[in-house]
Chain A
Amino acid sequence: MATTLDLPGEEFILPGTRTCAGCGLSIAYRYILKALGPKTIVTLPACCLTILHGIYPKTPIAVNAVNNTFASTAASATGLVAGLKARGINDFTVVGMAGDGGTFDMGIQALSGAAERQTDFIYICYDNEAYMNTGVQRSSATPLGAYTTTTPVLTKQQPKKNFLKIMEAHNLSYLATTCSSYPGDLYEKFLKAKNKKGTRFMHVASPCPAGWGYPASDTVKIGRLAVESGVVILYEVEGGELKLTGKSLNIARSGRKKRVNEYLEAQGRFSKMPAELVEEFQKEVDRNWDDVLRRAKL
């Protein structure tokens, strides 16, 4: 496992970004770009990443980028792949990157289409579990029991969509989950993704202090709690074979998976959650954990 000391020193996010303090996305993006390098072209819809890319005429991002409409990140990536190929430019890594709203919800059609066509690109979903850029509205990635500005009284009554299962159904060359709190795990997976062909899907759990209701200084801690309690599981799938990685593999081997309470209690968004919903949340996490462990043959 790479440690942060092993990662390249070159930075592709220059100082002075416009994201909120403690943004999980900006931590993840820093290591993503270190893995992918300068010959990367990123297409992005309107989302928190747009904010990170800055306001014209300045940008702190030192790779080429194309902004596109909300529903068409994967279509735009397809266009970049086709256009570069048609012009004989073969040494760029094409990346489509969107949040959970632009992926689980609005972007699913274009993403499914591009993945089914086995388009040669990396799709990155940074998942902060709601429409954060527009002010914390519920998405289908929002977990059960979470307060959002469109579930303000009752909280979300349905569990998070299991989007990874949908993506796995597309026969991808590579699928991996990772989290901004584990730069080594993230870096290695993106390096691997870069060196593969076809559609690669990367799910990056990205805690959001503004939307989740915790102090900005706790972003790394919250991401770790998510992994330690099995809410987020670090794994990769190649050729239908699922392998646990990093911290999740350690937990599986040691059997020391935390209960979800500490994770939930650390965040304001779950403060309205009644005990029976917490229990339901725990059961959902356990079901998913057992499912993944079974597939990993552990």
Chain B
Amino acid sequence: MSATKIITGNETAALAAKLCKVQVIAAYPITPQSKIPETLSAYVESGELDAEFVRVESEHSAMGVCISASLVGARVFTATSANGLAYMNEQLHWAAGARVPIVMAVANRGLGAPWTILNDMQDTLSQRDTGWIQLYCKNNQEILDKVIMAFKLSERVLVPTMVCFDGFRLSHTVMPVEVPDQKEVDEFLPPFEPVYEIDPDNPININPVVMTDPLPGPDGELCPSYMGFRRRLQKTLENVLPVYREVGTEFAEKFGRDYSDPLYRYRADDAEILFVAQGSVASEATAATDILRDKGIKIGVLGLNIFRPFPAEDLSNATKNARVLAVFEKGISYGYEGVLCSELKAALFSHNGHRPQVLNFIVGLGGKDLNPGDLVGAIEDVLAKMKEGHEMKTPQWLGSGV
């Protein structure tokens, strides 16, 4: 029997890792995720979780420990935020290239300078190209569910996964979370079975230097070059979405909550205008949608359950009847526009030639509050301006003040 607990996002992430019976945890303190390693260390010290907990001296080392522990077959978990994630950058590329199924919770936080400890998504969006799968959560229930799903997904495709959720907004907010039985999780997620074992009689050299062209092995067979290995990573990621759907369906059958659709959709079918967002912004947009619908505006929400690999086809299909797409996001590619906005435009260009107007709003950086009223105001304002023939060429910053 599952039980409902009223817990924070951080406690949820730690509890999820415990339910997944992680074997090695290495983590370093950084606000707002610190409660995750604190909670996990208490589980380990009290004997509730049989795992090695390594209190590392940096995030770079945290990921270094995770990679090598995973390479010898352990199920591995870590957590970080913001500058900690940025400090791991080199190791993130290494982890994906090494094909280790690590799961990492990221409590999203803005990057310095200047310092902020509060939420936005610049940290994980900046790690878009590292080769990791990125899942985003709208509420604490999703944190629990997506950590469990992430292990299943990562261990099937041998690609690491970040489970991203808004710092403070979710990490420090208590919400009801339905916590499944250990037995149910065990049935859904059996122990990790490594694809090889470390054997002294058949020694291997893992992640060695590779050349630009394939070279023959001792049996004369050509072995992959650097590009060969990297193409395999890309091909795997290109095929992750079907696996994600399968894992989501299995999860729904077991636990009754369905994330098999890469997109979260709310009143989207007949919408002329669509909010496009990820993380808790999609929750705010859901509330804003009801308000705007009451005012007669045919609006809906598309949220991203998964950002990498990018659900381009799903997005272009889901938006083909909409006239306006309003992308609200907590991250930007400086010198251009919001990251999600560019990705969405590229998806539209590649897939069906439908050309809705794509509007981009940069919101909530460094913890700037964003409530449904802000979204309602922004939509009403932009619709009025569009009627007057104004074009929105650069991203609009909401709530940035002076």
Contact = CB atoms under 8 A, between A and B. Distances in A.
Interface in A65-82: 65-69, 71-72, 74-80, 82
Contacts of A65: 203-206, 208
B52 interface: yes
A83 B204 CA distance: 17
For B60, B62, B198, which residue has the most chain A Cβ atoms within 10 angstroms? Answer: B198
The interface residues of chain B, by DSSP majority, are classed as mixed
A196 interface: no
A76 B209 CA distance: 17
Interface string B56-99: 11101110111111111110100000000000001100100000
A117 B215 contact: no
Interface in A54-70: 54-59, 61-69
A110 interface: yes
A79 B64 contact: yes
Nearest to B94: A69
Interface string A178-194: 00000000000000000
A290 B155 CA distance: 57
B198 A113 contact: no
A288 interface: no
A41 interface: yes
Contact of A66 (B73, B207, B209, B210): B207
B218 interface: yes
Interface in A90-140: 92, 109-110, 112-113, 116-117
A35 to B, nearest CB: 15
Contacts, number: 168
A79 B67 contact: yes
A117 B68 contact: no
Contacts of B65: 75-76, 78-79, 82
For B56, B62, B66, B205, which residue has the most chain A Cβ atoms within 10 angstroms? Answer: B205
For B67, B72, B204, B207, which residue has the most chain A Cβ atoms within 10 angstroms? Answer: B72
For A51, A75, A85, A113, which residue has the most chain B Cβ atoms within 10 angstroms? Answer: A75
A26 to B, nearest CB: 16
A55 B208 contact: yes
A117 B56 CA distance: 9
Contacts of B24: 79, 82-83, 86
Given A64-B198, A69-B90, A75 B56 contact: yes
The interface residues of chain A, by DSSP majority, are classed as mixed
Contacts of B203: 38, 61-65
Contacts of B70: 79, 83
A50 interface: yes
A38 B56 contact: no
A73 B43 CA distance: 28
Interface residues of A, number: 46
Contacts of A85: 52
B208 A75 contact: no
Interface string B282-317: 000000000000000000000000000000000000
A283 interface: no
B23 A86 contact: yes
B73 A75 contact: no
Interface in A252-275: none
Contacts of B216: 57
Contact of A67 (B52, B60, B199, B208): B208
Contacts of B252: none
Contacts of B370: none
A69 B91 CA distance: 7
A58 B200 CA distance: 17
B23 A83 contact: yes
A49 B215 CA distance: 21
Contacts of B61: 72, 74-75, 78, 109-110, 113
Contacts of B157: none
A54 B74 contact: no
Contacts of B94: 68-69
A154 interface: no
Given A56-B205, A61-B205, A69-B91, A76 B64 contact: yes
Given A65-B204, A67-B205, A109-B57, A79 B91 contact: no
A43 interface: yes
A39 interface: yes
Contact of A83 (B58, B68, B223): B68
Given A50-B208, A84-B198, 15 more contacts: A38-B201, A39-B200, A56-B210, A56-B211, A64-B199, A67-B207, A67-B209, A68-B207, A76-B64, A79-B67, A79-B72, A83-B70, A83-B74, A85-B52, A109-B61
16 contacts: A57-B217, A57-B223, A58-B217, A66-B71, A67-B209, A69-B64, A72-B60, A76-B64, A80-B69, A82-B54, A82-B65, A82-B69, A83-B69, A86-B23, A86-B74, A112-B57
